[in-house]
Amino acid sequence: MILKLLPRLGNVRYGLCGFGLLIVSYALFFFDPVEIIKSAKLKFVEGSFAYQLWQKPPVKVYINVYIFNVTNADRFLSGQDDKLNVVEIGPYVYWEELENTNCTFYSNDTVTYVPRRKLHFELKSSVGNPETDRIIIPNLPLLGFSSMLKNSPMFVNLVFNSLVNYLDSQPLLDLTVKEFLWGYDDRLVKMASNVLPTWINFAKFGLLDRMLDEGTNVVRMTVPSNKQKLRPYSIDQFNGSPILHQWVKNDERPQMNKCSLNASSEGLLFPRHLTTDMNFLIYRKAFCRTFPATYSSTSETPDGYPVFLYKFLPSVFNSSLDDNKCYCPKDGCLPPGLSDISPCYYNIPVAVSFPHFYGGDPSLMDHVNGLSPDKEKHESTIAVQPDLGIPLAVNIKIQLNLVMKRTTNYGNRVEKFNGLTLPICWLKLEVKGLPKSLNSLLYLCFNLGPVLVKAIVALTASMGFFLVGLTVRRFGKDQQKHHQQQQQQQQQQQLQLTNGSDGRRGCYGDGGDGGDDDGDNDHDDDDDYDGDDGTVESGLITKHKSGQQDSGKWYLPLHIVPTSSVVVVEYSQDYARSR
């Protein structure tokens, strides 16, 4: 369409179009439209793309459960084997459905919400059917209560021991995977819930059931703002408090306690324009504490999108470090590689670690066979697209362990487990794929958008320079043409002055009249100039000859100076005297 219109445009319009296209290309180059699209998409307001990505994530987070199945229960309990033999079974795969409900925005750039989580089993990705697969697993309520009551009075220990014998509770149980994860009838737990309902508020015990029983939690999160000083998407308060009460006393300043929230994140969204010196704290209530995610390297996804890799370093579970000392239980810190989370689980001595005690103290494996820590298999990583602040790959691995204190107060049923750290299971939280909407945004921002912008910039710049150059060239030609036209007009005007009103006036030495000029050669003796065949040069004066006789008539030819519009008439002194 533009090319069709170009012939109709004048030089000025050519120039204006050219300069306009150059301005457009300049604007596209310095004001990246792809960045404008990113900002619009990731603006955190109700109904925006970023809000929908956070409020009800279309990304499926898979929870892979690996269980340590005891294979020598009878031999260990009878004393034939000194160590427990365990075999890892799994994964049993669930995917998490998350929805942040009751969202309310406030003028101080925060939003409050109530997270709701629900797990769905995925049989096709699992190693077996949890309803039929059976495992032998430590009796967590029995062993946990036994370890918890270690420092209780002797009377309490005797009563508990009698109750255990009466109920015939066994330290190792044969259960289905579903019973272990989602709850089974345990007479000890049922009795405890009847006697102490405010402490044990459940009649069945299931590992995932207890971990996901988060209740109703109100979270307040900061949102991106130009005037905001706090890091976007960080947790400002949890249940109305900026501190984690299981680790921090009410009278302690939360910013002075390293085991508080400290602007941690749930890991759904991160700030935009990340730099390599930025690290994060990840918080999830099920794990009872924050986990520092430290920048490790810059990499790419299989689709070629640049990402920052963040890792949970082995030092995360080293309680001897100053950053982790607040996680130490009252009776002393756990060995490196373990972190106590008992305050979140009814004070039962549960601890978290990396799978197979990766990065932990080697002594943790002294009494258990079947563990093989491996960095590639057992370290945790998060891949975040630094420009968008969106996690594209998640691979977090956490192991749950039961820490048995040394005690001999309960007889032979639990004595074999004194001083042991029992690996129970480990979980792998991962994102296997991205939704179509997020893939489309990534493709637009990193594949199609930059190429399209470069092409448009190159095209508009080329057309702009072409039109400007064409304008200059046409202007030059027009000026030259105009100059030539002026020159011709001046020549014609001078001819009229010298040849008469009709452009043919002659100059006669005898002062005769001019006649009609019917051609270049007139031989009719009418006093006109008859051409070259009737002239004799005499300097610049032409003398007319009629045949062989001199007519005596003198003519003055025109002399036009080249490259000039001036007509010069020259004559000799003889001609002047004759006049």
- CA angle centred on 113, ends 110 and 116, rounded to 5°: 150
Encoded amino acid at 514, one letter: G
CA distance linking residue 401 with residue 414, whole number of Å: 16
Q: How far is CA 84 from the centre of its chain?
A: 47
Q: Which residues of 519-532 are buried (b: 16+ CB within 10 A; e: fewer)?
A: eeebeeeebbbbee
DSSP state string for 528-552: S---GGGEEEETTEEEEEETTEEEE
At residue 97 the predicted structure's pLDDT band, cuts being 50, 70 and 90, is very high
3-state SS record for 6-59: HHHCCHHHHHHHHHHHHHHHHHHHHCCHHHHHHHHHCCCCCCCHHHHHHHCCCC
pLDDT of 189 higher than 50: yes
Question: Greater confidence, 411 or 207?
Answer: 207
Looking at residue 411, its pLDDT comes to: 58
CA distance linking residue 249 with residue 256, whole number of Å: 12
At residue 105 the predicted structure's pLDDT band, cuts being 50, 70 and 90, is very high
User: pLDDT tens digits, residue range 216-244?
Assistant: 899 999 998 877 667 899 998 999 888 88
CB atoms under 10 Å from CB of 434, counted, come to: 21
Lowest mean pLDDT among 62-76, 441-455, 556-570: 556-570
pLDDT of 108 higher than 70: yes
- Check: CB of residue 96 under 8 Å from CB of residue 61: yes
pLDDT of 546 higher than 50: no
At residue 151 the predicted structure's pLDDT band, cuts being 50, 70 and 90, is confident
Helix, strand, coil share of the chain (percent; to 5): 35, 25, 40
Strands in 122-157 per DSSP E? 134-138
DSSP state string for 349-406: -EEEESGGGTTS-GGGGTTEES----HHHH--EEEEETTTTEEEEEEEEEEEEEEPPP
Mean pLDDT (whole number) for 493-519: 52
Among 254, 260, 264, 364, CA closest to 314 = 364
Among 412, 349, 350, 416, CA closest to 161 = 412
pLDDT of 256 higher than 60: no
User: pLDDT tens digits, residue range 325-336?
Assistant: 888 888 888 999
Looking at residue 394, its pLDDT comes to: 94
Looking at residue 408, its pLDDT comes to: 54
CA distance linking residue 50 with residue 578, whole number of Å: 105
SS3 158: helix
User: pLDDT tens digits, residue range 257-288?
Assistant: 678 888 899 999 999 999 999 999 999 998 99
- Check: CB of residue 164 under 8 Å from CB of residue 142: yes
> In the beta sheet, which residues pair with residue 65?
92, 427
pLDDT of 491 higher than 70: yes
Looking at residue 467, its pLDDT comes to: 65
- Dihedral through CA 221, CA 225, CA 227, CA 229, nearest 10? 40
Q: How far is CA 193 from the centre of its chain?
A: 48
CA distance linking residue 338 with residue 157, whole number of Å: 27
Indicate the domain borders of the chain. Answer: 1-32+453-497, 33-446, 506-578
SS3 306: strand
Both tokens of 418, joined, read 């004194």
CA distance linking residue 574 with residue 379, whole number of Å: 118
- Check: CB of residue 342 under 8 Å from CB of residue 349: yes
Looking at residue 529, its pLDDT comes to: 45
Lowest mean pLDDT among 119-128, 165-174, 201-210: 201-210
Looking at residue 464, its pLDDT comes to: 66
pLDDT of 407 higher than 80: no
Average pLDDT, the chain: 80
pTM above 0.85, yes or no: no
Residue 550 backbone phi and psi in degrees, to 5: -80, 125
Mean pLDDT (whole number) for 202-229: 83
Mean pLDDT (whole number) for 439-457: 83
Among 499, 494, 501, CA closest to 561 = 494
Q: Is the dihedral of CA 317, 319, 324, 330 positive or negative?
A: positive
Looking at residue 8, its pLDDT comes to: 45
Looking at residue 19, its pLDDT comes to: 62
CA distance linking residue 394 with residue 277, whole number of Å: 20
> In the beta sheet, which residues pair with residue 555?
508, 542
Of 18-27, 210-219, 279-288, 553-562, the range with the highest mean pLDDT is 279-288
DSSP state string for 442-469: HHIIIIIHHHHHHHHHHHHHHHHHHHHH
Looking at residue 475, its pLDDT comes to: 64
> Which residues are CB-neighbours of 328 under 8 A, at least 6 positions away?
319, 334, 340
Mean pLDDT (whole number) for 133-144: 92
pLDDT of 371 higher than 90: yes
Among 244, 131, 250, 215, CA closest to 181 = 131
CB atoms under 10 Å from CB of 380, counted, come to: 22
- Check: CB of residue 343 under 8 Å from CB of residue 323: no
